[in-house]
Amino acid sequence: MDGSCLDLMEARIPRGEVRTRFAPSPTGYMHVGGLRTALYTYLIAKKMGGKFILRIEDTDSARFVEGAVDVIIRTLKSVGLDYDEGPDIGGPCAPYTQSERKPLYRPYAELLCRTGAAYYCFCGHIAHEERGHEMLGVVSAVQDPCRDLPYSESKQRADSGESHVIRMKTPRSGSTSFHDEIYGDITVENSTLDDMVLLKSDNLPTYNFANVIDDHLMGITHVVRGSEYLASAPKYNLLYKAFGWDIPVYITVSPIMRDAHNKFSKRHGDPTYEDLLAEGYLKEAVINYIALLGWSPGGEREKFSLAELTEAFDFRDISKSPAIFDAVKLTHFNAEYIRALKPEEFLEAARDSIVETVGSGMDIGLIAALLHQRCEKLTDIGPQISFLKSLPDYRTELFENKKSKTDKEISLQMLRELRALLSDVSDWSVEGLKNPITGLAEKLNVKNATLLWPLRIALSGLAVTPGGAFEICSLLGKHESLRRIDLAVSRLSSES
């Protein structure tokens, strides 16, 4: 690739607009910190009328997981972080997968060699430094004998096929400064920086070098990244200056913590985004909550839709302080979101869990209506309605309730009266059951609760249930309701 090709690539760079990118490695899952980075990156682009880009950084083959790209794409689309350019939809800077951009990197590395900002290194003890994600290197500028080789000699050796890497020629004196929108101005002595590898011996770029090249060629103006990359920023800036390119705006976010001392990490058993969905959290609640992990909108308001976050978000309000992931607060958020759903929306969200627990033969709409205001997470559904599928073993002491004025003896009497009544009832709907049962209470001169408490215990075996006796009767159907009443009568009779 000659200079004219480089000029053509430069000419393709989109300019005149804000452009942000989310550039994950395909490691198999979307962790919470990565999703927060994607969210902030999206919000900056949309707030400023720009473009949000998805780029897949897959040059580290040791970390690549088959199918992980699909997970990334599916997650972003499911939460509404719609990107304007990406590997599956294309765009003016395609391709958007690093492994497909392999031919682009060597010409830029060789350009730096020609200008004296980088050099070919033929030292044999560099293999292990190529494996790490950071690619920091271990050969210092003073120790590396290749640093001062004449360009013509090293170029000839490289062209002849001799194994080599290309390293940045870091200045040995002076300092390098960079500005971060969150952390301010930071200066690092060049003597503390090594000659990092730019191009590995397999001709693939290191993570840092590929980042700089791709960000430049894609016209990226704002870069959101984790605080672990602060140490790499001086090297990035040295590369930008060596090429004579504009440096993007850096926005560094603090880590998400499990507690005051430990980072939130999948490796330590903390949940990924997919895990949170499996635990019964709504995607809207998750997005809202992670937006607040390190960013404050000011004021008391905390609940935001994605559109409202776009309006409210200002990256200058991101905090340097680490954010602690609080599952209790997320659950509180989730409960608010669930209860704010329209009945038909909750039915759709809850349908799979309901059917999985009780099957499809019952009135799913009625069950959803009973559960709607009783759930903090969708995983609360199964335990609350499992009694509909199978009557649990229960203690007869449950029939004793002072408020309903029942004990075991009274409950036995009420259940016998109910059994005789209900055997002749044909309308087994909620409304069809109310009139005859309340009429029986009036006939027996007892409170409705004195009849309904033992009936509900007999039907459910639980002190607390979603819905009352009328709804449970209707859901179980006549045959199962009478069978459970008979079972309760038999148990109470045996104790009298």
Any idea which residues carry the catalytic annotation? 266
Cα(138)–Cα(239) distance, rounded to whole angstroms? 19
Sorted by sequence, the CB contacts under 8 Å of residue 275 that are 6+ apart come out as none
Contact present, 433 and 473 (Cβ < 8 Å)? yes
Contact present, 460 and 472 (Cβ < 8 Å)? yes
Cα(251)–Cα(18) distance, rounded to whole angstroms? 14
Sorted by sequence, the CB contacts under 8 Å of residue 294 that are 6+ apart come out as 36, 253, 254, 256, 318, 319, 321, 322, 323
- β-pairing, 51-54 vs 19-22, is parallel
Q: ∠313-314-317 over CA atoms, to 5°?
A: 110
Contact present, 186 and 230 (Cβ < 8 Å)? yes
Please give the backbone phi and psi of residue 351, each rounded to the nearest 5 degrees, phi first. Answer: -55, -50
Distances (CA, A) of 189 to 173, 176, 485: 7, 6, 82
Structure tokens at 482: 């009478």
Contact present, 462 and 387 (Cβ < 8 Å)? yes
What's the chain's length in residues? 496
Per residue, what are the HEC states of 109-134? HHHHHHHCCEEEECCCCCHHHHCCCC
Cα(218)–Cα(12) distance, rounded to whole angstroms? 8
Sorted by sequence, the CB contacts under 8 Å of residue 424 that are 6+ apart come out as none
Cα(273)–Cα(285) distance, rounded to whole angstroms? 12
Which secondary-structure segment (H or E) carries 441?
Answer: helix 430-444
Which secondary-structure segment (H or E) carries 411?
Answer: helix 408-422
Which candidate, 319, 329, 246, 318, places its Cα nearest to that of 286?
Answer: 329
Q: What is residue 197's three-state secondary structure?
A: strand
